[in-house]
Amino acid sequence: MEERPLILVDVDGVLNPFRRPGTAWQSHTCTAAGVAFALWLNPDHGPRLLALARETGADLVWATTWEHDANAGIGPIIGLPELPVIEVHKGRGLEDPGCCWKIPSVAEYVNRRPFVWFDDGLGRIDRLWLEAHPNVDRFRLLHIGGNRGIRDAHFRQARDWLTSAA
C-alpha cells in the first residue's frame, strides 16, 4: 500500500500575504525566535486545509521559515492542530545556486511520498532539482503569488492533483 501523500504549507506569502487581500484577513502579531511580526491571517484557511487533507487522505506538514513557531503562533489562530514540521533550516546551503533553500530539507523529509507544496518562492529550477533527487517521487508545486496569498484556485489544483495521484 502506498504511503499517504503530504500537503506542505508555507506561511509568508501563502497564509500570510504581503498585502491584505480582503476583510477576511485579520491582523495578528506572532513571534518567531523571540521576534514579533505582524501578519495577515484568514481564519477560513485552517478548516479549508484540514478539509483538503481529510478529503484526499493526505497529511498536512509545515514547510516554512517559522518551523516550530508555526505550531505555537499561527496554527491556533487559523484553527489548525499541531502539525509535523519540516526543519527547513537544517538543509540550508545544500541546494544548487538559484534554488529555494528549503528544498534539501523537503527532499529528505518526503522520502518518496507524493506531495503538493504551497509556496510563494518556487520555480522551474526547483522543480528540476526535485525531479532529479532520488528521495523524491511524484509532486506538484503550487506557486502562490505572495501579494495575495493562497486562493481558491490553489485549493482546487491541490485537490485535483491529490485525487488523481491516489
Give which of 118, 97, 87 is closest to 8, Cα–Cα.
118
In the complex, minimum distance from the CB of residue 12 to Mg ion, in angstroms, rounded to a whole number: 4
6, 10, 70, 118: which one binds Mg ion (CB under 5 A): 10
Q: Which stretch binds Mg ion (CB under 5 A): 10-18, 25-33, 48-56, 149-157?
A: 10-18
Determine the Cα–Cα distance for residues 125 and 123; give it in Å rounded to an integer.
Answer: 6
120 binds Mg ion (CB under 5 A): yes
Backbone angles phi, psi at 29, to 5 degrees: -110, 125
Tell which one of 6, 8, 12, 139 touches Mg ion (CB under 5 A). Answer: 12
Strand runs (DSSP E) across 33-77, as ranges?
35-41, 59-62
Nearest residue to 154 via CA among 138, 143, 166: 143
User: Rounded to a whole number, what is the distance in angstroms from the first to the last CA of the chain?
Assistant: 11
- Asked if 67 touches Mg ion (CB under 5 A), the answer is no
Q: Are 130 and 63 in contact (CB under 8 A)?
A: no
Q: Which of 47, 46, 57, 59 is nearest to 7 (CA)?
A: 59
Applying CB under 5 A, the span of 32-40, 82-90, 119-127, 155-163 interacting with Mg ion comes to: 119-127
Residue 58 Cβ, how far from Mg ion at the closest point, in Å?
20
**Position of minimal CB gap to Mg ion:** 13
CB of 95 to Mg ion, least distance (A): 15
Using the rule CB under 5 A, give the single segment among 93-101, 118-126, 127-135, 151-159 that binds Mg ion: 118-126
Total residues interacting with Mg ion, rule: CB under 5 A: 4
Catalog residues that contact Mg ion under the rule CB under 5 A. 10, 12-13, 120
